[in-house]
Structure 1
Amino acid sequence: MVASSFATALSRVLSYEGGYSDHPADPGGPTMKGIIQREYDAYRARRGLPKQSVRLISDDEMHDIYRTSYWDACRCDELPPGVDFVVFDGAVNSGPTQSLKWLQRALKVPVDGDIGPVTIEAANACQDKAALIDDICDRRIAMLRSLKTFPVFGKGWLSRVADVRIRGKALAQGAAAPPPPPAKPADEMAKAKISDTSALAALKTPEGIAAAIPVATAAVNAAANPGPMAWALAVVIVIAAAVAGYYFLKLRRAG
C-alpha cells in the first residue's frame, strides 16, 4: 500500500528463493532467484532478445519480472499491508491465479483467480486482517500437502509459509517484522503448482470420491456379468472416471 512495499516484499521473497537450482523433482526446471527458465525465455522473447541461461538474468530483468508478472498482476499496491505480501509470495511460489484464489476463498467472494474491484474492496473492508492471513496460509498449506512433490520439498515450503504468516500478520498490525530465517539452499525451494496434485490426495476429496463411484459400479457389474465385453466396458469406465475426476479436482479444488 506504500511506495516501499514492493521492494521490501521482494527482498523477503528472495531470501526464500536462494540462487540457482535445477532439482530433478522441481516442476519449474532450471531456476534462478525464483525465476524459471521458461518464464525468462518468454520475457526476453517479448523484448526481441535472444534466449540465454536464466543463470545470467540481470537484477533489472529479475525486478521487472517480479514487479509486472507477480506484484502488479495481483494488484498488490491496492491490497492492505501484510495481505499484499502474503498474496505476492503465494503468487511467486504457486502462480498469481492460485494465490488470488486463496485470497478470494478466504474473503468468501466469487473465485476466479482474477483480481478486480470486488476482491480488492473485500480485502480492504476486512476487519480482521490477521485472521484473513491465517486463512490464506492455511489454504496454501493444505494445497502444498496434496502435492506429489511434498515429500521432497515440503519441509522448505512449510518453513516458508510459517515465515510468510508471521511477517504478514506483523505488517497487518503495524508491527516490526522479525528478520527472515537463514537462507536455504535453492534446491530446497521448488515451485508448488496445483497441477502436481497427487492421485491419492485427489481420491480423498469429495470430488475424488464421486469420481470413484462409477468405477466401483462398473467393477460390480463386471463381476456379476462376466464376459469380455463387460470387462472391457468396465476398464473404459474406470479410465474415463479416473481422468475426469483428477482433472476436475485440479480445476475446482485449487486451494
Structure 2
Amino acid sequence: MRETLTTALDLMFGHEGGYVNNPKDPGGATKYGITHRTLAAHRGVASVTPAQVRALSKEEAIEIYRRSYWVQSGGDLLPVGIDFMAFDYGVNSGPAQAVKSLQRVVGVTADGIVGGQTVAAVKAFKGDLIAAYAAERLRFMKTLKTWPTFGRGWQKRVISVEAQARGLHQGVVLVDDAPSAPAKANPKDQSLMETFKKPEAWASIGGLLSGLGGMASGSGPMQWALAIIMIGAFATGVYFLIKRMQDQAA
C-alpha cells in the first residue's frame, strides 16, 4: 500500500465524522463513512443493527477502507492528489462511480476499473486535472434526488477535497476542522429526469412503445385486452429499465 493512504484516511475521516442515522440519507446508519450495508458485507452477515454500526471501531473502518475502497479507486496507481480525490469520491459514492467520473474527464472508456489505459490518460492529461475532476464530481452530485437536502454539504466537501488534493500534490496536508458532508451521494439516487436523458433509455422505451402500438393497432375486444396487457407490461418494463440503468450508474 502506498504511504499516502494513511494521510488520505485521516483527511477522509475529517469529512465523514462519527455515527449518523439521518432518515433522509439513503445510506442509513453510518459511522466513519461506513454504511450498515458495507459493514454487513465486510463481516459476511446479512445485516447489522444501528447499534452495531454505532459500535464500529476506527480500526475496523480503516481495514474496510484498505480492502474495499483504496485499491478499487486506483489509490496505488493514480498520481498523488488524484489518488486521494478518487478515494474520497469512492467513499461517498462508490469506487466504480469515482473511477467512471475520472475516466470521463480524461477521455477513456468509463468502465469503473483503473487500468493501464486510465493511468496513462491521467498522466497525459493537458490542463488542471484536479479542477476538472472536482467539477465532474460536483456535476454528478447535482443530478441526484438528494441534492436539495445535502447539496450544500457536498459542495463544501468537494471544494475542500480539491484544496487538499492540491496540498498533497505539493507535499502539504490541509485538514478540515469539522465534517463537511457525511451523507452518501449514491448513484442510484439519480432522478428520473437524469435517467431519461440517457440515449439508451429512449432506445429501450422506443422499442416498448413500438410493441405496444403494434398490439393495439387492431380493433375488437381481443385487441383491447391485448393492449391492456401490453400497457401493464410496458409499465413493468420501464420500471426495471430505470432500475437497471441506475444500478449500472453505480
- For Structure 1 versus Structure 2, the TM-score category normalised by the shorter chain is 0.7 to 0.9
Aligned counterparts of 1:153 and 1:77: Cα–Cα separation in 2: 30
Q: Which residue of 2 aligns with 1:182?
A: 178
Q: Is the 8 A contact 2:196 2:202 kept in 1?
A: yes
Determine the structure 2 residue equivalent to 1:147. 144
Structure 1 position 157 matched with structure 2 position 150: no
TM, length-normalised to structure 1? 0.79
Please state whether the residue corresponding to 1:249 is helix, strand or coil: helix
Describe the superposition over 1:49-102 as per-residue Cα deviations: whole angstroms up to 9, x where unpaired. Answer: x98702112222121111121112323122101100110001101111111111
Name which of structure 1's ranges 231-240 and 72-81 shifts more when overlaid on structure 2. Answer: 231-240
Deviation per residue, 1:21-50 (Å, 9 max, x gap): 11112222111111112222332348xxx9
1:133 alignment partner in structure 2: 130
Matched, 1:192 2:173: no
Q: Does 1:242 align with 2:238?
A: yes
SS of residue paired to 2:76: helix
Gaps of 5+ in 2: none
Q: 1:226 to 1:114 in 2, by over 3 A?
A: farther
CA shift in 2, pair 1:212/1:110, >3 Å: closer
What is the CA distance between 1:231 and its match in structure 2? 4.8
Report the secondary structure of 2:168's partner residue.
helix
**Residues 206-234 of structure 1, C-alpha deviation per residue, up to 9 Å, x if partnerless?**
34444555677758x97997973375156
Are the aligned partners of 2:11 and 2:175 in contact in 1 as well (CA < 8 Å)? no
Distance across 1 between alignment mates of 2:235 and 2:242: 11
What aligned pairs does 1:36-47 form with structure 2 within 5 A after superposition?
A: 36-45=35-44
The two structures, once aligned, show a CA RMSD in angstroms of 3.2
Give the SS at the match of 2:130: helix
Distance 1:151 1:122 in 2: 34
Q: Which residue of 1 aligns with 2:9?
A: 10
> C-alpha distance in 2, partners of 1:66/1:93?
12
The CA distance in 1 between the partners of 2:134 and 2:88, in whole Å, is 11
Residue 139 of structure 1: how far off its partner (Å): 2.5
Q: How does 1:51-130 map to 2 (within 5 A)?
A: 53-128=52-127, 130=128
Pick aligned residue for 2:199 from 194, 200, 206: 206
- Alpha-carbon offset, residue 133 of structure 1: 2.5
Specify every segment of 5 or more residues in structure 1 that has no aligned partner in the other structure, as ranges.
Answer: none
Residue deviations 1:133-169 (CA, integer Å, cap 9, x gap): 3332222222212222222212111111121122223
Name the count of aligned residue pairs.
244
Partners of 2:136 and 2:225 in 1: how far apart? 44
8 Å CA contact 2:102–2:133 kept in 1: the answer is yes
What's the secondary structure of 1:26's corresponding residue? Answer: coil
